[in-house]
Structure 1
Amino acid sequence: MIWRRQTTHDALNAMNEGTMMALLDIRYVALTDDSLEATMPVDHRTHQPFGLLHGGASVVLAETLGSMAGYLCTEGDQKVVGLEINANHIRAVRSGRVRGVCKAIHTGRRSQVWQIEIFDEEGRLCCTSRLTTAVI
């Protein structure tokens, strides 16, 4: 297991209250030994003007997952902040919920690198993202 903090996905969801994650209805749904998963609706809150999932909304989901996963790999008063994120949008999504799966590429003392893949309800890859974080 890579996590240094004990939690549940229900406790993580409670942390989202009053944040952008709550506004977009991002919900943590699974916490395994080496991954963190969350879902996000594809609806009026996350659409771009042409009725498709906005690429920026995918990046919000990716950074949400990577930042929280990073935090879970720290101890005490340590926090994690994003340094760089990139995303490749592979498939358009019009409706439903997308699911992001976050896994560590590197979890160092001062920096971390996270791979986040976002899938549609049929399990097709829609976006792949990489987030680099700093531990402060």
Structure 2
Amino acid sequence: MDSAKNKESSANFIYFAQNLVIVNEREIIQYINNYVKNTLIDYLGIEFTKAGDNFIEATMPVEQKTYNPARILHGGAMMALAETVGSALSYLNINMETHDVRGLEINGNHLKSVSSGFVTARGQIIHKGRQTHVSEIKITDQQGNLLNISRMTNIIVEKQA
């Protein structure tokens, strides 16, 4: 992909929340999944699958690298998934040319365990202020059972010149 086209794609992503007509869901998902390559997100196998007005979804495999010693999904892996979704959701709702997102706080309740398959996290903003976003993230298994519910607060900061 040439630099001009990549910049155009980035600009479309940046203004996603304000101008839904500019980009389609597939382009947003593709951009995010490419953006997180070679990070913890990529290592854990987290993949964004859906995005829309005020929500985003991602999946994560339940496998050896996401297990705890009891061979079930590690609570920390679930929290990494929740934080990833909560952060991405805030990024979709800011101008990334002028602002950035920083995690301020996250908490979660592990309600059920799982030992195989995939889990899906769906995040929604429940408060969108000028300087803070609060998101609720629900993680479910393939049967739709609620495994974890988390709440994340992000602070929106201006980029330094």
Gaps of 5+ in 1: none
2:81 to 54, 61, 74: 61
1:95 to 76, 93, 116: 116
1:33 to partner: Cα distance: 1.7
Residue 37 (str. 1) matches residue 57 (str. 2): yes
1:19 to partner: Cα distance: 0.6
RMSD: 1.3
Paired residues in the alignment total 135
2:68 to 44, 48, 56: 48
Kindly indicate whether structure 1 or structure 2 has the higher relative contact order, using CA contacts under 8 Å at least 6 residues apart: 1
Give the structure 1 partner of residue 146 of structure 2: 125
Give the whole-Å Cα distance in 2 for the aligned partners of 1:4 and 1:13: 21
Give the whole-Å Cα distance in 2 for the aligned partners of 1:3 and 1:97: 28
Residue 105 (str. 1) matches residue 126 (str. 2): yes
Larger Cα Rg: Structure 1 or Structure 2?
Answer: 2
Which TM-score applies when normalising by structure 1?
0.95
Q: Specify the code of the residue in structure 2 equivalent to 1:40.
A: M
Residue 3 (str. 1) matches residue 17 (str. 2): yes
Give the whole-Å Cα distance in 1 for the aligned partners of 2:152 and 2:18: 19
1:34 to partner: Cα distance: 2.1
Q: Which has the higher helix share?
A: 2
Query: Which piece of structure 1 moves more, 17-26 or 5-14?
Result: 5-14
1:65 match: secondary structure: helix
Give the whole-Å Cα distance in 2 for the aligned partners of 1:126 and 1:4: 32
1:23 to partner: Cα distance: 0.4
2:91 to 60, 67, 71: 71
Give the whole-Å Cα distance in 1 for the aligned partners of 2:33 and 2:75: 23
Q: Which has the higher strand share?
A: 1
Is 2:54–2:89's contact at 8 Å kept on the other side of the alignment? no
Is 1:104–1:115's contact at 8 Å kept on the other side of the alignment? yes
1:8 match: secondary structure: helix
Give the whole-Å Cα distance in 2 for the aligned partners of 1:94 and 1:4: 40
Percent of residue pairs bearing the same amino acid type: 38
